[in-house]
């Protein structure tokens, strides 16, 4: 099987491509997502799906969504990786009540990244990604297990979706932000939940949501 260009692939994506090539050579059929997870050493089937979508956008794969063995390697000469960005997944953000932040080492995970079309994020490269836990933002079409791509910034406009760090509690949350004098109103997007208020002096804006990658 032809070699695949690797210059813009993450380690995880290269392992996935190598495993698919080996598996097809040995079995004459493509692997399932579960087999890819174990064979390529990926943390979850959700992350496999995200990487497969990125590889498909990069023209390295074809996928038949309704087939359990629907992953097919494309002709590598058709690859165009300039249209995508690698965005590191640096941790988790809670879309419910704020919870304690993991320490700095726990937030680093060089193995995990997602590829995002430059057209979705205006080509901006000052980006990072977080896995969402909780369902307080479901009316904003952000659900538990989704990945949000964040633009690093310390200020946002009223109504922006932002990652907010509460310095007095060492806690973080994902909410829609409104400035109201000396405090901020942090509003969930779930009709069963109420907004809450925090002193603006104890808030650090860590980024604004620019793109959502929904779990499979």
Tokens 């392992």 sit on residue: 15
| Cα angle 23, 29, 31; round to 5 | 55
- Measured CA to CA, the distance from residue 14 to residue 23 in angstroms comes to 14
Catalytic residue among 46, 49, 96, 175: 175
Task: Please identify which of the residues 12, 96, 136, 187 carries the catalytic annotation.
Answer: 136
Q: Is 136 designated active site?
A: yes
β-strand partners of 71: 63
Active site residue 175: yes
Question: What residues act catalytically?
Answer: 136, 175
């Amino acid at each position: 099987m032809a070699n695949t260009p690797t210059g813009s692939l993450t380690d995880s994506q290269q392992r996935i491509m190598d495993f698919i090539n080996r598996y097809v050579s040995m079995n004459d059929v493509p692997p399932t997502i579960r087999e890819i997870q174990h064979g390529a050493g990926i943390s979850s089937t959700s992350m496999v799906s995200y990487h497969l979508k990125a590889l498909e956008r990069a023209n390295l794969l074809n996928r038949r969504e309704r087939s359990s063995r629907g992953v097919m390697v494309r002709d590598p000469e058709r690859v165009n990786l300039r249209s995508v960005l690698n965005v590191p997944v640096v941790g988790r953000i809670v879309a419910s009540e704020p919870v304690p932040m993991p320490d700095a080492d726990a937030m680093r995970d060089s193995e995990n990244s997602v590829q995002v079309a430059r057209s979705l994020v205006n080509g901006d490269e000052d980006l990072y990604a977080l896995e969402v836990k909780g369902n307080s933002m479901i009316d904003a079409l952000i659900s538990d297990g989704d990945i949000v791509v964040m633009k690093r910034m310390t200020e946002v406009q009223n109504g922006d979706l932002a990652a907010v760090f509460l310095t007095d509690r060492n806690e973080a949350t994902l909410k829609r932000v409104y400035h109201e004098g000396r405090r901020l109103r942090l509003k969930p997007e779930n009709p069963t939940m109420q907004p809450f208020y925090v002193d603006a002096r104890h808030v650090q804006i860590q980024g604004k949501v620019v793109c959502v990658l929904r779990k499979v």
